[in-house]
Amino acid sequence: STPLTTMAALKLNSKNLQRIGQASLGKIQIPSYRVRKEPVTEGIVHIGVGGFHRAHLAVYVDQLMEKHGIRNYAICGVGLQPFDAAMRDVLRDQDHLYTVMERSDKRNFAHIVGCINSYLYAPDNREAVIAKMAHPDTRIVSLTITESGYYYNENTHELLSEHPDIKSDLKPENENAPRTTFGFLYAALARRYNLGLNPFTVMSCDNMQKNGSITRHMLESFARSRNPEIADWIAEKGAFPNAMVDRITPQTSEHDKAALAKEFLIEDAWPVVTEPFMQWVIEDKFSDGRPPFENVGVQVVNNVHDVEQFEMHKLRLLNGSHSAIGYPGQLAGFKYVHEVMDNPQLRKLVWEMMQEEVKPLLPQIPGVDIDEYCKTLVKRFSNSTIQDQLPRICLNASGKIPQFIMPSIAEVIMKSRKDGIEYPFRRLCFVAAAWFHYINGVDEQNKKFDVVDPMLNELRAAAEADRGGPEGLLQIKNLFGDDLRSDERFITEMKKAMKDIAEKGVLETLKIYFPD
């Protein structure tokens, strides 16, 4: 037979699926239920089909279908944003098949995922999306819509009801042509109510502390403004499990596509590259049934308190470290996460921030060794084979820093006041100060970079109002609580870090602050 290396890559679609599997001699996992064309029903509607969803929830569901015979929880993907048109086109062209490449020094594995069964791009037909969610087969609507998709005010913890998108979706005449996630969820739930169905479970897979509770609160507020009867029904019958989700998933590059064609002979217009590690801890709270997620390694737990603790560990340690890698790293001119981890000052910043400043604030979770967790994180961040880009880590910071860094700072402030001891937070403040510089979009070699943030104009105007210092930015009430604004030790520390970073640069400042 022809040696693999001289064979041309096969385009990924249903027709070629079996040949791809055969040619790979077992090196690629393929969805055999798709080869056999087994009938499935779509029990999950997922809003926000990006890299993370395709490497996380969809992989778990694919394993349920492949290894556990589940057929009633295939996924219908939904895109609400203009940029989702590209995903619609690629998936349509590949019969909704795509490849996940897991990479590390030890592993190089390809897995074709078949559980996305259809895809609806809302701007093409908003009614079709509402009808799909309202359909009795749909039992779960899951979300990866990023922090900004929740219209959540970090300070008041309420829905941003004055936001133009929300205001527009709240108009009764727009009920059947919504734009936001809440508009769609509401319209579909209202129909289910009228049909006498159960509400579907709304399952947030976004990186937010109490993601389920926030989703519930935002949706109930939205519904209450539209129709209190529906809001009461959602409050009583709805389910919004909290969850901790984890898998580092970089943006796909041209290089990744070429590598897939070369190493696995698959031509896929949009594969996903990710690390071998994956984790999902979810509260067992579902209003209309659920698949047996525990069969594929998901930690399904009964106690909301447990989930919150896992979330806290992950957001403060993993994502907090990502912030410590991203903003200082970008200012210092690095491109990739693993490169930052190779730098002694930044590696030390990440490690000591976790160990000395964040860890003492975290609850103990039975069976979890925090030091081991931190060591694993360092290994995961050092994985050079996935080429995780700093611009990805830095994206939409206004939704991230208030989740990943500020809560730790606020807790240090509170605890210090209570105990009369100045607990350390210098590294956390350094990261926040690096972000404040990052907003300008110029690195320390005077090279410009793009800053992508839904609040960019507001951030820049606030920074302008207090040139060079933190106080203008700290006035933004949606992002920072009064506890931060009014703390003298914090303000002093921020001023100093901003000044030192501006004058000496990130790496020099770190050398002075934290000598070996």
Sole window of 72-80, 97-105, 106-114, 241-249 interacting with ligand CS2 (rule: CB under 6 A): 241-249
Question: Which residues does 293 contact at the CB level (< 8 Å), separation at least 6?
Answer: 60, 64, 280, 282, 300
Of residues 54, 103, 400, 427, which one binds ligand CS2 by CB under 6 A? 400
Q: What would the x/- binding string for ligand CS2 be over residues 163 to 202, using CB under 6 A?
A: ----------------------------------------
| Of the candidate residues 10, 377, 393, 431, the single one contacting ligand CS2 (CB under 6 A) | 393
Residue 248 in the binding site for ligand CS2 (CB under 6 A): yes
Task: State which of residues 53, 103, 247, 427 lies at the interface with ligand CS2 (CB under 6 A).
Answer: 247
Q: How many helices (H) and strands (E) does the chain have?
A: 25, 14
DSSP label of 4: G
Q: Is 138 helix (H, G, I), strand (E, B) or coil?
A: coil
Best CA proximity match to 114, nearest among 141, 149, 77, 165: 77
Q: How far apart are CA 216 and CA 243, in angstroms?
A: 13
Q: Which is nearer to ligand CS2, 99 or 319 (CB)?
A: 319
C-beta of 383: minimal distance to ligand CS2 in Å?
Answer: 12
Q: Which residue is nearest to ligand CS2 (CB)?
A: 322
DSSP string of 402-428? Answer: HHHTHHHHHHHHHHHHHHT-----HHH
Question: Residue written as tokens 């289910």?
Answer: 192
207 binds ligand CS2 (CB under 6 A): yes
Q: Which of residues 408-437 bind ligand CS2 (CB under 6 A)?
A: none
Is 319 a binding residue for ligand CS2 by CB under 6 A? The answer is yes
- Is residue 316 close enough to count as binding ligand CS2 by CB under 6 A? no
Instruction: Give whichever of 42 and 311 is closer to ligand CS2, judged by the CB atom.
Output: 311
- Segment contacting ligand CS2 by CB under 6 A, of 70-78, 93-101, 245-253, 461-469: 245-253
Min separation Cβ 393 and ligand CS2, Å: 5
Least separation, in Å, of the C-beta of 463 and ligand CS2? 21
Of 220, 246, 267, 493, the one binding ligand CS2 by CB under 6 A: 246
The footprint of ligand CS2 on this chain (CB under 6 A) covers a number of residues equal to 10
DSSP letter string, 232-291: HHHHHH-----EEEE---PPP-HHHHHHHHHHH-EE-SS-EEE-S--EEEEE---SS---
Q: Rg (Cα) of the chain, in Å, rounded?
A: 23
322 interacts with ligand CS2 by CB under 6 A: yes
Are the CB atoms for 247 and 388 separated by under 8 Å?
no
Q: What is the DSSP string of 445-511?
A: TS-B-----TTHHHHHHHHHHTTTSSHHHHT-TTT--HHHHT-HHHHHHHHHHHHHHHHH-HHHHHH
Closest distance of CB 281 from ligand CS2, Å: 12
Q: Which residue has the tokens 């609040």?
A: 455
CA 470, distance to chain mean position in Å, is 27
Q: Which is nearer to ligand CS2, 34 or 400 (CB)?
A: 400
Catalog residues that contact ligand CS2 under the rule CB under 6 A.
207, 246-248, 318-319, 322, 392-393, 400
